[in-house]
Structure 1
């Protein structure tokens, strides 16, 4: 049986793949940043190069 250690950020617009152990956890979901976890309330991006969320 394989163990999942990485997954895509739960933000629909985000393309980041994150290590589950490093994820920002909110409402049972894993996000790559606080901006994604909070739904980009002020239009800020996630801060990761190559992602346009």
Structure 2
């Protein structure tokens, strides 16, 4: 039996975003909702998605 995962939670600990595997930004072998999360918030900015408390 196989399972196809289409949506995952962003790998950033503080982020609450769910992202499709096709649109995710992959870094360090994990999937993120965007570049800010994937870059570990080097600029100390959040993911910029409405309603998300993520701020790096």
TM-score, length basis structure 2: 0.87
Aligned to 2:6: 5
Q: Provide the secondary structure at the position in 1 that maps to 2:48.
A: coil
Aligned to 1:45: 46
Segments of 4+ moved more than 2 angstroms: none
Query: Partners in 2 of 1:21 and 1:7 — Cα distance?
Result: 10
Aligned to 2:23: 22
Structure richer in helix, relative to its length: 1
Aligned length, in residue pairs: 53
RMSD value over aligned CA atoms? 0.9
Q: Structure 2 unaligned runs (5+)?
A: none
TM-score, length basis structure 1: 0.92
